[in-house]
Amino acid sequence: MTAPVSRGIAWFGLYLAVVLLPLGVALFVRLSSGAPVPLLHGLAVAAGLVAFSLLTMQFGLVARIKSAARPFGSDALALFHRLLGSAALGFIVAHSVFLIASGLPLDSLSPVSINASTSLGATSLWLTILLIAASLWRKRLRLRYGLWQASHSLIAVLAVLAALGHVLEATSARQDGLLAIVLTAYAVLFLALLLDYRVLRPLRLQRRPWVLVENRDEGASTRTLVLRPVGHEGLSFEPGQFAWLSTGSSAFGFDQHPLSLSGPTEPATVPLEFSIKALGDWSSKIVPQLVPGAKVYVDGPYGAFTPDRVPAQSFVLIAGGIGITPMRSILLTLRARGDNRRVLLIHAAHDPGRAIFREELAGLARTMNLVLVPVYESPPPDWRGERGLISMDLLRRHLPPSLAHVQFFVCGPPAMIEDVESALSRLGIRPEQFQSERFDLV
Rule CB under 8 A: which of 57-116 touch another protein? 71-73, 75-76, 79-80, 83-84, 87, 90-91, 99, 102-105, 108, 114-116
The rounded distance, in Å, linking the Cα atoms of 143 and 154 is: 15
Which is nearer to another protein, 212 or 423 (by Cβ)? 423
Residue 402 binds to another protein (criterion: CB under 8 A):
no
Which is nearer to another protein, 118 or 224 (by Cβ)? 118
The rounded distance, in Å, linking the Cα atoms of 175 and 169 is: 10
Q: Which residues pair with 410 in a beta bridge?
A: 318, 436
**Please, what is the minimum distance in Å from the beta carbon of residue 69 to another protein?**
10
CB neighbours (10 Å) of residue 23?
A: 17
CB neighbours (10 Å) of residue 241?
A: 23
Which is nearer to another protein, 63 or 69 (by Cβ)? 69
Which is nearer to another protein, 26 or 373 (by Cβ)? 26
Which is nearer to another protein, 168 or 349 (by Cβ)? 168
Site string for another protein, 120-139 (x = CB under 8 A): -x------------------
The rounded distance, in Å, linking the Cα atoms of 360 and 70 is: 31
Q: Report long-range pairs for 162-168 (Cβ below 8 Å, ≥24 apart).
A: 162/120, 162/121, 162/123, 162/124, 162/127, 163/51, 163/52, 163/55, 163/120, 163/121, 163/124, 164/52, 165/116, 165/117, 165/120, 166/117, 166/118, 166/120, 166/121, 166/124, 167/48, 167/49, 167/52
**DSSP symbols for 266-292:** -STTSPEEEEEE--SHIIIIIGGG--T
Which of 2, 6, 10, 12 is the binder for another protein (CB under 8 A)?
12
Which is nearer to another protein, 181 or 200 (by Cβ)? 181
**Please, what is the minimum distance in Å from the beta carbon of residue 240 to another protein?**
14
Region binding another protein by CB under 8 A among candidate stretches 308-316, 353-361, 363-371, 433-441: 433-441
Which of 2, 38, 250, 405 is the binder for another protein (CB under 8 A)?
38
**Please, what is the minimum distance in Å from the beta carbon of residue 326 to another protein?**
16
**Please, what is the minimum distance in Å from the beta carbon of residue 152 to another protein?**
20
**Please, what is the minimum distance in Å from the beta carbon of residue 34 to another protein?**
5
**Total residues interacting with another protein, rule: CB under 8 A:** 72
Which is nearer to another protein, 114 or 200 (by Cβ)? 114
**Please, what is the minimum distance in Å from the beta carbon of residue 105 to another protein?**
7
Q: How far from 76 is each of 8, 303, 332, 435, CA to CA, in Å?
A: 11, 10, 25, 10
**Please, what is the minimum distance in Å from the beta carbon of residue 5 to another protein?**
9
Which of 10, 14, 37, 141 is the binder for another protein (CB under 8 A)?
37
Which is nearer to another protein, 287 or 420 (by Cβ)? 420
Tell which positions 158-217 bind another protein, by CB under 8 A: 166, 169-170, 172-176
H or E stretch including 213? Answer: strand 210-219
Which of 18, 20, 161, 392 is the binder for another protein (CB under 8 A)?
20
What is residue 154's three-state secondary structure?
helix
**Please, what is the minimum distance in Å from the beta carbon of residue 217 to another protein?**
33
At residue 297's C-alpha, the angle toward residues 148 and 133, to 5°, is 10
**Please, what is the minimum distance in Å from the beta carbon of residue 27 to another protein?**
6
Identity at 225, one-letter amino acid code: L
Residue 36 binds to another protein (criterion: CB under 8 A):
yes
Which of 39, 133, 141, 181 is the binder for another protein (CB under 8 A)?
39
At residue 424's C-alpha, the angle toward residues 418 and 427, to 5°, is 145
Which of 1, 3, 31, 112 is the binder for another protein (CB under 8 A)?
31
Cβ(306)–Cβ(241) under 8 Å?
Answer: yes
- Nearest to residue 87, comparing CAs of 51, 60, 135? 51
Peptide bond preceding 301 in cis form (omega within 30 of 0): yes
**Please, what is the minimum distance in Å from the beta carbon of residue 169 to another protein?**
6
Sign of CA dihedral 165, 170, 175, 181: negative
Cβ(393)–Cβ(296) under 8 Å?
Answer: no
Which of 10, 34, 154, 405 is the binder for another protein (CB under 8 A)?
34
**Please, what is the minimum distance in Å from the beta carbon of residue 421 to another protein?**
5
**Please, what is the minimum distance in Å from the beta carbon of residue 76 to another protein?**
4
Residue 436 binds to another protein (criterion: CB under 8 A):
yes
Identity at 285, one-letter amino acid code: K
Cβ(305)–Cβ(439) under 8 Å?
Answer: no
Tell which positions 288-317 bind another protein, by CB under 8 A: 304
